[in-house]
Amino acid sequence: MQKNFEMLQKKCNNILMRCFLTASVRNFPLFFLILFLGCQSKNVIEIDLHQNWSFAYENQLYSATIPGCIHTDLMNIGIIPDPFYRCNEDSVQWVSDSIWVYSTTFSGKEINKFKHAEIVFSGLDTYAEVYLNGAQLLHTEGSNLCDNMFRPWRFPLPKALKKKDNELIIKFLPSKKINQEKAKQLPYTLPDNRVFTRKAPYQSGWDWAPELVTCGIYKPVKIVAWNDFYVENIECVQRDLTDDKGVIEIIATILSDKEVRVNMWVKEKGIKQKTEGVIYPGVNKISQIIEIENPELWWPNGLGSQTLYDFNIHISTHKLFKVRWGFRTIELVQEKDDIGESFYFKINNIPVFMKGANWIPAHSFVSEMSNEKGQARYKHLLESCKDANMNMIRVWGGGIYENDYFYNLCDELGLLVWQDFMFACALYPADSAFLYNVKKEAEFQVKRLSRYPCLALWCGNNEVKNGWEDWGWQRNYTTEQRIEIGKNLHTLFNELLPGVVQTNDNRPYHPSSPLWGWGHPECLTEGDSHYWGVWWGEEPFEVWLPKTGRFMSEYGFQSYPQMSTIELFTLPEDRYLESPVMKNYQKHPRGVPIINRAMEQYAYIPDSLEEYVKISQEIQAYGIGKAIEAHRLKRPYCMGTLYWQLNDCWPVASWSSIDFYGNWKLLHHTVKEKFAPVIVATEELENGTTNIYVINDLLHDIEGDIIVTHVDGTTAIIPFHAEANSSTLVSIAYKKEIIQNVLQWDK
């Protein structure tokens, strides 16, 4: 179906100017806006290349949207149907197996006035070859091929461009075929071929995601041209924080082709400081220490304000750069005790119980999150986290490193970020080329994200250690192969990634989440825990309390999205649970039987789909609500609860509390209640009595009354005094059966 590249290139040369249609220009992340504002000067120009792109299909050129991807471009012109409707996912699989070619033209007149020029691709997904005026273009690492969607690629331009109509062509290669070729080079078979490519793993399908392996220019692309020197990056590093002062260092990375004296001015409200320095040919760094007297602290949601300081930076002839910072300290405390080892966060020297959820990519097509509609989606989801009293989001390792808009919002909303590197549920190669690629990715992402005060933790992967130890993979290998694979994992997650973090950031690093799988007794006594005995193990909700670990970073239960969402991907004849369409939107192989079992235990199995959806959400909310109560009740033994999962990447039955279209499920309303700063929680004892606790996340003691309603309709009042930042047992072995607790306290 796809013509070969030579024919496409010839076709592009012949009809490019006749067939180009103007592509819509998308908003791009704040980080790139900052660089654009900062680098326009007589010595530097930046030219966005977001317009006049086309892609080739069956010997014709069609308008492309940049940033974008091939699936959305094909949908926009009606070549493929919406894969989020009925069973259309199956009908678009051919797209992933094809070669796709994108092209545009640009003028070289202004660029030729500068000594240095390069094209900077902020994100190419994923295997891409770049051509200029019919010739291969080599990136700064000496190859024509890009092979990692998680890092930018820079292509130096030739000295003399054509005054106009320089033709830029990007050829995207199918990742599946390349994965298969790389897999053949190993003497053994890894569980999943997608690991050979540094590409968002969830695109290949998950038990909540469709298989939509896309490609495209999914982030901004620009031309940068400069004389003498160019400010490549601005970093902000907190060096010290006391009650009296906060100290940060502003660091500028500058490329230069000559010896030049430069000035760096930093301004923040009434502060204005100047640094002078000399830069030399090559890569230079100049820095300035800034002290803020009596700084206001940045606090997680619920504990204080999210004070952010804005620093304006001028470097000689370059214009304005902006950096934003919030003063806070973050510490991950892992100390041996008589039970095992603690796992909790101190923020500004205060132990903080983390309340939150796991974040997956908010769309199957990542580029859809870079426009205004995508930003609105980010804003709604993250504001919903704040509204539900959360203070932490875990960016899961099977998705993507989110864009700058996401982290800016987390800064503003007081949402700490647990950041996984993008490795999940698989074994990975460790040849020199792969490790080099990962190191470049990690260096870029750590430097980029270290500018955000919300970032609390770097984690090496999701469930790789767990999978290697517990999922039966080791049975497939010889002793020698097991030793080699184990060494590869250690090299990647215990040497390379922590080394990058230590060199480029001061946040803590955790090698793998969870530390132990849920079948190990250690999962309850040390590290973080993914407790999937409920759901995967089909255990009842009553096990949450005895199965509470030191930090619960994953657990969950499925439900269906509301009927208005289901109606958007079905026809009336599809709306029964076992229809082919409804089965396509239940990706877990045992999803319906597990939900049915819980319905039988806690409610009933309804006959209609409408009632089934309603009861599924009630069961999910009840079960996860009980888990949150159990985890909070057991503080300080347990110091965090992050349920799986906050959101969806398409309309689907899943563990989410907010569906793809932004609708709160009943679970999210329950989460808001259970994550409130002060709640009542109960512990049912074997003798039929109940312990009653007041959990107080506030930083001061509180007093009040609990109005208890019994099964027989009578009530009682239990006065309490709850200590600050703690779980307080206020009634021991309460004898009457309780149906409701109402908390009253002086706020």
- Catalytic position from the list 402, 463, 526, 554: 463
What is the side-by-side strand order in the sheet with 416-420? 509-510, 455-459, 416-420, 392-395, 354-359, 640-643, 552-554, 529-530
Q: How far apart are CA 312 and CA 266, in angstroms?
A: 6
Q: Which residues contact 105 (CB under 8 A, 6 or more apart)?
A: 16, 17, 20, 52, 164, 165, 166, 167, 168
- Helix H or strand E segment including 121: strand 116-121
Q: Which residues contact 43 (CB under 8 A, 6 or more apart)?
A: 226, 227, 228, 229, 230, 317, 318
CB atoms inside a 10 Å sphere around CB 324: 17
For residue 404, the Cα-to-chain-centroid distance in whole angstroms is 11
State the amino acid at position 476 in one-letter form: N
Q: How far apart are CA 328 and CA 326, in angstroms?
A: 6
Q: Which two tokens stand for residue 739?
A: 């149906």
Q: How far apart are CA 106 and CA 524, in angstroms?
A: 59
**Buried b / exposed e across 696-709, counting CB within 10 Å, b at 16+?**
bbbeeebebebebe
Q: How far apart are CA 595 and CA 601, in angstroms?
A: 10
CB atoms inside a 10 Å sphere around CB 511: 20
Task: Yes or no: say if 371 and 395 are a contact pair by the CB < 8 Å rule.
Answer: no
Task: Yes or no: say if 301 and 356 are a contact pair by the CB < 8 Å rule.
Answer: no
463 flagged as catalytic:
yes
In the three-class reduction of DSSP (H, G, I as helix; E, B as strand; rest coil), residue 532 is classed as coil
Task: Yes or no: say if 393 and 646 are a contact pair by the CB < 8 Å rule.
Answer: yes
Beta bridge partners of 80: none
Give the Å distances, CA to CA, from 532 to 358, 615, 642, 644: 14, 21, 13, 10
State the amino acid at position 335 in one-letter form: E
CB atoms inside a 10 Å sphere around CB 443: 15
Residues with a catalytic annotation lie at 463
